[in-house]
Amino acid sequence: MADPNSKVEAAHIVVYSDSTDRDYALKVRLGKEGYQITHVRALDVLVAQCRRLRPQVVLIRSLAIPRDVVKIIRQLKNLGMDFARFPTFLVLRGHVARSLMPLLAIGLEDIIDLDDGMEILVQRIKEVEKRGSTEQGRANETRSGSRGNLSEMSIIDLVQALGPSQRTAKITVCSNRGGEDKLVMFLNRGNISFAKLGELVAEKAIYEALAWENGTWLLEPITEGELP
C-alpha cells in the first residue's frame, strides 16, 4: 500500500506565450492539477529554462498566423531546442492549428486547437506523464500522412516547415484551377531531391507550382529506398 504521506514531485511545465490572452486562465487550470508553471516571453529564455529546469512538458501558445508560427519553430531549432527531449505542444487558433499539422514531422508532441478549450490539453499532458521519458516521441513516429490547403499553407511554407526535420517524405500538390496539374516532390533528409510537374522537372516544376494559390497538398513519410 502506498504511503499516504509520501509526496510526488509535480511535473514542471514551461510555457511560452506571444500574447497575454488566456495566460491567467491557463495558469489556474494547470495549477489545479498540481503542475509547476514557468512563464516566459522570449524564445531564447525558453530554451535556457528548458536546459536549466528540464521540464516534463513545454507549451508554445501563439495567436500568430501560420507563417509566423513556422518562424517561431525555426528560431527554436536554431537556438538548439530539442523537441525529442522536451515534449512540446503547440497551442494555436483552430484554422492555424489545422494548417500546421506537418510541423509534427519535426518531433513536436502535438498541435492543440486553442478553441477546443483546456481540457484536451490537460488530458494530453497527463498522457505524456504516463508514457514516461523513455517513450518520448513515439507517438510522432507512428503518425502517417498529413493533408492541408495551399490557401492556409503555401508550398514554400510547407517546405520551410519540414526542412529542419531532416525527414524523408513525398509531397503531392494538386491545383484547383482545373486540369490535372499535380506537383510531386521528394524530400531526402529535409532537402528537395526531386520534383516533377507534367514535363517539367527540378526547379522549373517548383517555380511553376509556386503560382498556385488554391489547391491541396498531401505529405507522406517514405523510406530512402522509395526515393526516385
Q: What is the average pLDDT score of the chain?
A: 82
Q: Nine-digit cell at 170?
A: 513525398
Q: What is the pLDDT of residues 79-134, one digit of tens each?
A: 999 887 899 999 998 888 888 888 887 788 889 887 766 788 888 888 888 766 43
Q: What is the pLDDT of residues 125-173, one digit of tens each?
A: 888 887 664 344 433 433 446 777 888 778 887 887 776 666 788 999 9
Q: What percent of the chain has pLDDT over 90?
A: 34
Nearest to 22 by CA among 34, 14, 30, 12: 30
Q: Which amino acid is at 73?
A: I
CATH fold of 12-141: Rossmann fold (3.40.50)
pLDDT at residue 3 greater than cutoff 50: no
Q: How far apart are the first and last CA of the chain?
A: 59
User: Taking the domains of the chain in order of start, what are their residue ranges?
Assistant: 12-141, 146-226
Query: Residue 194: its pLDDT value, please?
Result: 94
